[in-house]
């Protein structure tokens, strides 16, 4: 995979522009990846609800749980669904709204300097092998484009918002991810 540095887009990924983003504040440099887990409705997979949510087009009449999130303005840079399909919502050059109130190594507002990658899943259901394979390819492309992203700066949402967030959850196999990342 290759990132077009000028556009901030991952080549070959589906692009569905989200309005929920803005410019990164100067002089921020991208130096971290935050891995998330999401399913809409909770625990259900395979629909276009996540994409619609990130694009501000979620039809709240389709599920009662959507009322709770109807006013949220949330996005991620990438989503990797259960089949391994990658959708980009925000160019890497812009700030996606994925981390919320967050802090890492004393630096707050992690959206300012991170890339948010969502995996379709839950804390309890194991992620698919193809999701790990695609995630590793994305991470390697990001590390090539943004060399300040080291393995130590690839974290879960729970690491930057402890007590508030639990994703990607116990079902995310960090050891397997690390093995793929170092062998690939």
Helix, strand, coil share (%) of the chain residues, nearest 5: 30, 20, 50
Tokens 């009449």, located at residue: 61
The DSSP result for 85-125, as a single string, is -EEE-S-TTEEES-S-S-EETTEE-GGGTEEEEEEE--SSS
Judging by DSSP bridges, how do beta strands 94-96 and 3-4 pair with one another?
unpaired
The verdict on whether 118 is a catalytic residue reads yes
Query: 1 has which bridge partners?
Result: none
Which one from 51, 83, 118, 128 is the annotated catalytic residue? 118
DSSP letter, residue 55: T
> Residue 37: enclosing H or E segment and its boundaries?
strand 32-38
Q: Which residues are known catalytic residues?
A: 118
């Amino acid at each position: 995979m290759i990132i077009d540095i000028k556009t901030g887009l991952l080549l070959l990924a589906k692009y569905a522009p989200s309005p929920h983003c803005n410019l990164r504040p100067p002089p921020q440099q991208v130096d971290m990846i935050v891995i998330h887990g999401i399913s809409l409705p909770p625990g259900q997979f395979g629909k276009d609800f996540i994409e619609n949510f990130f694009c501000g087009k979620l039809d709240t009449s389709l599920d009662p749980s959507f009322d709770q999130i109807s006013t949220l303005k949330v996005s991620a840079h990438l989503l990797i669904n259960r089949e391994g399909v990658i959708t980009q919502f925000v160019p890497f050059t812009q700030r996606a709204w994925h981390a919320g109130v967050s802090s890492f190594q004393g630096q707050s507002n992690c959206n300012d300097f991170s890339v948010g990658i969502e995996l379709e899943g839950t804390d309890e259901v194991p992620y698919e092998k193809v999701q790990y394979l695609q995630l590793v390819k994305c991470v390697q492309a990001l590390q090539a484009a943004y060399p300040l992203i080291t393995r130590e700066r690839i974290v879960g949402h729970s690491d930057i918002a402890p007590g508030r967030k639990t994703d990607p959850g116990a079902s995310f196999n960090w050891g397997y991810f690390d093995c793929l990342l170092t062998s690939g």
